[in-house]
Amino acid sequence: MGDLLVYVRAVHFAATIMAAGAVIFEFAVAGPAFALAGVATHGVAERLRIRWAWIVWASLAVAVLSGAIWLLLLAADIYGAPIVKVWGNGGVWTVATDTRFGQVWAARLAAAVLLAGSMRMWRVTAERGLWRVLSVILAVGFLIGPAWTGHAGATPGGAGQFPLAADAVHLLAAGAWLGSLPPLAMLLAAARRQKEPSWAAVTAVAVQRFSLLGLASIGALLASGIVNSWYEVGSLDHLVTTPYGQLVLVKLGLFAAIIAIAAVNRLYLTPRLAVAGAVHRLQNNSVVETVLGFAAILVVGFLGAMAPASHTHQHPSYAYVPPDAAFVHIHSLAGMADVAIIPGHVGKARAVIRLWDENYESLAANELTFTLIAPVPGSKPVVRVASQDQGGAWQVDGIDLPLPGNWIAGVDAEFGARRRLALEAPIVIEPKQ
Which of residues 283, 311, 339 is at a domain's end? Answer: 311
Which of residues 277, 311, 345 is at a domain's end? Answer: 311
- Is 361 found in the same domain as 238? no
Secondary structure (3-state) at 416: strand
DSSP state of 27: I
CATH code of residue 383: 2.60.40.1930
Q: How far apart are CA 86 and CA 116, in angstroms?
A: 30
Q: How far apart are CA 226 and CA 216, in angstroms?
A: 16
Note the pTM of the prediction, 2 decimals: 0.71
- Is 142 found in the same domain as 97? yes
* Residue 122 and residue 132 in contact, taking contact as beta carbons nearer than 8 Å: yes
Residue 187 placed within a domain:
yes
- Is 59 found in the same domain as 35? yes
Give residue-wise pLDDT tens across range 355-413.
987 666 788 889 999 999 888 877 788 899 999 988 888 999 999 999 888 888 999 99
pLDDT at 274: 61
DSSP state of 265: I
pLDDT at 25: 94
- Is 262 found in the same domain as 298? yes
- Is 332 found in the same domain as 307? no
pLDDT at 98: 74
pLDDT at 394: 93
pLDDT at 264: 81
Question: Domain containing 375: what range?
Answer: 326-429
Total domain count, the chain: 2
Nearest Cα neighbor of 230 from 151, 157, 291 is: 151
Residue 241 placed within a domain:
yes
Residue 87 placed within a domain:
yes
Q: How far apart are CA 103 and CA 87, in angstroms?
A: 17
* Residue 80 and residue 367 in contact, taking contact as beta carbons nearer than 8 Å: no
- Is 275 found in the same domain as 357? no
433 residues of the chain, pLDDT tens digit each: 457 888 888 899 999 999 999 999 999 998 888 888 777 667 888 889 889 999 999 999 999 999 999 988 888 776 666 788 778 777 788 778 877 788 899 999 999 999 999 887 765 554 567 788 899 999 999 999 998 876 554 454 444 566 778 888 989 998 998 899 899 989 988 888 887 878 888 888 888 898 889 889 888 888 887 777 776 666 666 667 677 777 778 888 888 888 888 788 777 777 776 666 777 787 788 888 888 887 888 787 777 666 555 555 444 445 557 788 888 888 776 678 889 999 989 999 999 999 987 666 788 889 999 999 888 877 788 899 999 988 888 999 999 999 888 888 999 998 876 678 888 888 888 887 6
Residue 318 placed within a domain:
no
- Is 119 found in the same domain as 232? yes
Which of residues 251, 277, 311 is at a domain's end? Answer: 311
pLDDT at 314: 47
- Is 371 found in the same domain as 291? no
DSSP state of 375: S
